[in-house]
Structure 1
Amino acid sequence: MMRRILMIISPRDFRDEELLEPKEILKKAGLEVVVTSVTGETCIGMFGTNVKPDYVIGEFKAMEFDAVVVVGGSGTPVLNKYDKVLQILRDAKKQNKILAAICLGPIVLAKAGVLKGKKATVFSSGISKIEDGGAQYVSDSVVIDGRIITANGPQSAKMFGNAIVSALD
């Protein structure tokens, strides 16, 4: 069966290349990529990319996916307000799925409580937030701790995508 990856984006101001670059790498590796948000409306990236989500959060379960990815961007912190987003991350962790987040995405993992005791990286403005969530901040581009993969920003998007592919091998 084809492995499925869930990518979560904010409705406004997700970081375009943090969605597009890893998504392309995942698809080239033969993985099915599903994009979701908290709305079924077209989502708009910081640089104007329009994306119509395949699903709205809550229309599926974590168990249907092999990995759950939180895309970054200045709009990402709004995801912390949605219990359904936090719940799918908690469920994915319980089910030993790969959890990945880039840029400000790791603060959503931290809010969900899935970074406790884990090494992680994040965009510089999010460091205190992931530490508040029990993570140990590491200033690398990409950090892998068990089944959790974090990256610090758009310049790491390709490395991040490749790390997810490797983790699924």
Structure 2
Amino acid sequence: MPRALLLTGDAAEELDVMYPLYRIREAGWDVDVAALTRREVQLVIHDFDPNSDAYTEKNGRKLPVDLAFSEVEVEQYSALVIPGGRAPEYIRLDKDVRRITEYFFAQNLPVGLVCHGPQVPAVYGLLKGRKTAAFPPLHGDMENAGATIVDAPDVVDGNIVSCRGWPDMPEFSRAFMALLDRAAVPA
């Protein structure tokens, strides 16, 4: 059975995590959740309020974690997902997140980036010359990282599928699942 890895942490957006997690499992893949430690992480729910200049946030579900970033053996996985929320802002500082992310890009394996997820490969220079969607306030950061921003719910650039956030989940999921269907399954 093919395996995917999902990198997350506290303050990850609940729909950004849960929608792809269950969709990939529904397609017959094993999905391991990795975080800084093996303790469960606190997901959050972001919503958009017309009376607010930013999104609102409240606690969502707790998510069990299968392994710590330091325990990830990248060769066991055929795809990577990095959901959004605030988690990408700090998990990108972890040396093992860098090791993991660089492996998937070097091997040209499928990578799904949701909302703030592009912050992780961007900080390592992996989006230079690539197209990506991202949460709109990140557009300047993505451009400074050398990426071309595409304002769409399902941006595909080679091995990457990205979207702007949880409202894009249906389109993102269709595009990412099509990429996974084409991906080589490890022996």
Question: Where on the TM-score scale, by shorter chain, does this alignment land: which range?
Answer: over 0.9
CA distance in 2 between counterparts of 1:75 and 1:92 reads: 19
Aligned amino acid, residue 25 of structure 2: K
Aligned amino acid, residue 103 of structure 1: C
| TM score, norm. by length of structure 2 | 0.85
Q: What's the secondary structure of 1:46's corresponding residue?
A: strand
Which residue matches 1:46? 44
Which residue matches 2:176? 164
Aligned amino acid, residue 45 of structure 1: L
Which residue matches 2:4? 5
Q: What's the secondary structure of 1:73's corresponding residue?
A: coil
**Structure 2 unaligned blocks of 5 or more:** 46-59, 182-187
CA distance in 2 between counterparts of 1:54 and 1:133 reads: 31
Tell me if structure 2 keeps the 8 A contact 1:22–1:158. no
CA distance in 2 between counterparts of 1:129 and 1:83 reads: 21
Which residue matches 1:29? 27
Q: What's the secondary structure of 1:139's corresponding residue?
A: coil
Which residue matches 2:161? 149
Which residue matches 1:79? 91
Which residue matches 1:133? 145
Question: What does 1:82-101 correspond to in 2, within 5 Å?
Answer: 82-101=94-113
RMSD, aligned CA: 1.2
CA distance in 1 between counterparts of 2:18 and 2:179 reads: 19
Q: Which runs of 4+ in 1 moved over 4 A?
A: none
Deviations 1:25-77 (A, max 9, x none): 11111111111111211100113210121010021222211111101012321
Which residue matches 1:19? 17
* Larger radius of gyration between Structure 1 and Structure 2: 2
- Percent of matched pairs sharing the same residue: 26
Deviations 1:115-162 (A, max 9, x none): 111010100111111112111111111200000111110111232222
Deviations 1:86-128 (A, max 9, x none): 1211111111211111000011111122211101010011111
CA distance in 1 between counterparts of 2:72 and 2:11 reads: 24
Aligned amino acid, residue 135 of structure 1: A
CA distance in 2 between counterparts of 1:156 and 1:102 reads: 9
Q: What's the secondary structure of 1:14's corresponding residue?
A: coil
CA distance in 2 between counterparts of 1:67 and 1:90 reads: 12
Tell me if structure 2 keeps the 8 A contact 1:103–1:151. yes
CA distance in 2 between counterparts of 1:91 and 1:29 reads: 24
| Residue 6 of structure 1: how far off its partner (Å) | 0.5
